[in-house]
Amino acid sequence: MIEVYPEQYELLLEEKKKSIQNLFQHLKHPELTVYRSTATHFRERVEFKIWHDAGKISYAMFNKGDKKTPIRLTSFPRANEKIANLMPDLLNKIGASEVLTKRLFQIDFLSTLRGGTLVTLIYHKKLTEEWEEAARQLKNTFNIDLIGRSRKQKIVFDKDYVIETLSVAGKHFNYQQIENSFTQPNAGVCEKMLTWAYENTMNSEGDLLELYCGNGNFTIPLSQNFKQVLATEIAKSSVKSAIYNLETNGIENVYIARLSSEEIRQALNRDREFRRLAHLNLDDFNFKTIFIDPPRCGLDDKTIELVSTFDRIIYVSCNPNTLRENIEKLPAYKIEKFALFDQFPYTDHIECGVILSK
């Protein structure tokens, strides 16, 4: 679960490639393109439980199904170098303070390729003024942003987000990434995913509909290849970040709507009107391409019905099994591009991308 053996990276990646080829062998597709990760220091987001023993604390993780036997960590080479270097000194400083240590049960790290680091300390106790003073000193010592969380409490020094800068086809885009919200954990591979999607949609005709847009991760670079983009997302915090990120990057041809996939299907079919779309006239859009990056469960049948009305589907999936099942329900389409993105080295997790056209 925890070990990293860089000398085995290529072998493990080859096994992932073979598993995907076997899973999709009955579907006609082009050669699989594989996008590698770095072998170490690839995660910008990590979370650890804190284990208390004889007055000392340590970072801990647990094997699936076993929450009683901690795997205590003295290092974590999967974390990016800023987090990996910060971890031991931060823990020592916290451990030297009773007020910071008492009832601490989790520490989360959120960092970036080119920016700062945010640390969240999570407690089973009320955070007092004494804790605030100690936490502020901790923040200043390590020059980090810091959050304290407890039941019905969230104390922030000074920001609850980081700004990530990602490079796509020679251009740089800035993203606000909020603590406790979903972001791609492997920023280096994320850049490769964005570049793949961008390069394969150049010179596109018509407009783009995007489902599950999150904080605008794909939306922002893809907006350059379409006249207009309508991007939908259901999580309020992600919608807020997406709007912020569009403004920060000067993107003016994207419209954000807080809608689920079922709601946008109803809106496009004119089955139902939504006040959240009152600022738009859907007749002004000429949708030809749809971009989807759904949860692990994939697409339900009604969403498959929606995507099947588009000339082209760009599908990024964190679950190859549901991706295959969804493609099997789209027999009118052929696979034009097929990619494997190694977001999570040393695990069974595989991220794929396909471009389907009628």
Sheet holding 254-257, edge to edge: 33-35, 334-341, 351-357, 312-317, 287-292, 207-211, 229-232, 254-257
Count of CB atoms within 10 A of residue 75's CB?
Answer: 13
Catalytic option among 305, 318, 328, 336: 318
The pair of three-digit structure tokens given for residue 200, joined into one six-digit string: 């394969």
Q: If you ran DSSP here, which 8-state letter would residue 253 be given?
A: S
210 labelled catalytic: no
Is the CB of residue 316 less than 8 Å from the CB of residue 9? no
Catalytic option among 44, 164, 233, 351: 351
CA distance 203 to 211: 21
213 labelled catalytic: no
Q: In what helix (H) or strand (E) does residue 149 lie, and over which residues does it extend?
A: strand 145-150
Is the CB of residue 172 less than 8 Å from the CB of residue 236? no
Nearest to 261 by CA among 286, 291, 222: 291
Terminal Cα-to-Cα distance of the chain (whole angstroms): 41
**How many Cα atoms are found within 13 Å in the side-chain-facing hemisphere of 145?**
19
Residues marked active site are found at 318, 351
